[in-house]
Amino acid sequence: MLPFDVILFDVGGVLLTNGWDHRERAAAAVRFGLDAGELEVRNAKFYPAWESDQIDRNQYLDAAVFYEPRSFSRDDFFDFMLAQSKLLEDGALEILAEISASKKYLIGALNNEARETNDFRLKEFGLRRYLRLTFSSCYVGLRKPDPAMYRRALDVLGSAPSRMLFIDDRQENVEGAAAAGMTAVRFRGAEALRAELEQLDVF
């Protein structure tokens, strides 16, 4: 008997770079001549709403960046944002592909991401070829580590929590999944993840 029915991966920090974390925002502040501190404050205020699909891309950009006239366009800024998404060095994409090729598990994503960047990242990096389903915050209107996010995945999938494995790079998200009864593994690099998956008899 296989150890799990379902394996859920986070995306940013596990498969790809986070794409719009503090480093990327700092780079944007330099590139576009913005006040980095103000960008951080406004991002913290409005980004959660974008991630949970309460506002769209233009509403986020208007609130975070274009609250005053700029010498660049929304498209210029958003193109820069998208360009920050890259394959994660020492990431788990190869492991994801290997597990997918085995056809032994239902594989999906459980991630926090805004709709427009999520759609881009899934398509740009070909992730949908491996992921049969995506519990993304922008699709379900919930964000990790809210317990409701994990309950939604459990309710939809219908498997016992113990039959689900979740992989994430952030400790608070791992703890949230574990509290919901899932087996949760914190991602610390491909080699470490492979060793943990071997111990769990995934391979």
- pLDDT tens profile 148-203: 999 999 999 999 999 999 999 999 999 999 999 999 999 999 999 999 999 999 99
Amino acid at 5: D
Q: Are residues 66 and 149 in the same domain?
A: no
Structural domain contains residue 1: no
What is the count of structural domains for the chain? 2
Q: From CA 183, how far away is CA 5, in angstroms rounded?
A: 12
Structural domain contains residue 11: yes
The proportion of the chain whose per-residue pLDDT surpasses 90, expressed as a percent, equals 99
CATH of the domain at 69: 1.10.150.240
pTM to 2 decimal places: 0.95
Q: Are residues 61 and 92 in the same domain?
A: no
CATH of the domain at 194: 3.40.50.1000
Is residue 65 within 8 A of residue 34, CB to CB? The reply is yes
Q: From CA 155, how far away is CA 159, in angstroms rounded?
A: 8
Per the structure, the complete domain to which residue 151 belongs is given by 6-17+87-199
Q: Are residues 65 and 102 in the same domain?
A: no
Structural domain contains residue 31: yes
**How high does pLDDT run on average in the chain?**
97
- pLDDT tens profile 75-116: 999 999 999 999 999 999 999 999 999 999 999 999 999 999
pLDDT at residue 82 in the model? 98
Q: Are residues 96 and 51 in the same domain?
A: no
Q: From CA 193, how far away is CA 199, in angstroms rounded?
A: 10
User: If you average pLDDT over residues 14-24, what whole number do you get?
Assistant: 96
- pLDDT tens profile 120-158: 999 999 999 999 999 999 999 999 999 999 999 999 999
- Position 57 pLDDT exceeds 90: yes
pLDDT at residue 123 in the model? 97
Q: Are residues 113 and 187 in the same domain?
A: yes
Provide the 3-class DSSP secondary structure of residue 164: strand
Q: Are residues 44 and 115 in the same domain?
A: no
pLDDT at residue 150 in the model? 98
Q: From CA 61, how far away is CA 81, in angstroms rounded?
A: 11
User: If you average pLDDT over residues 19-26, what whole number do you get?
Assistant: 96
Q: From CA 201, how far away is CA 187, in angstroms rounded?
A: 17
Is residue 166 within 8 A of residue 184, CB to CB? The reply is yes
pLDDT at residue 1 in the model? 86
Q: Are residues 91 and 13 in the same domain?
A: yes
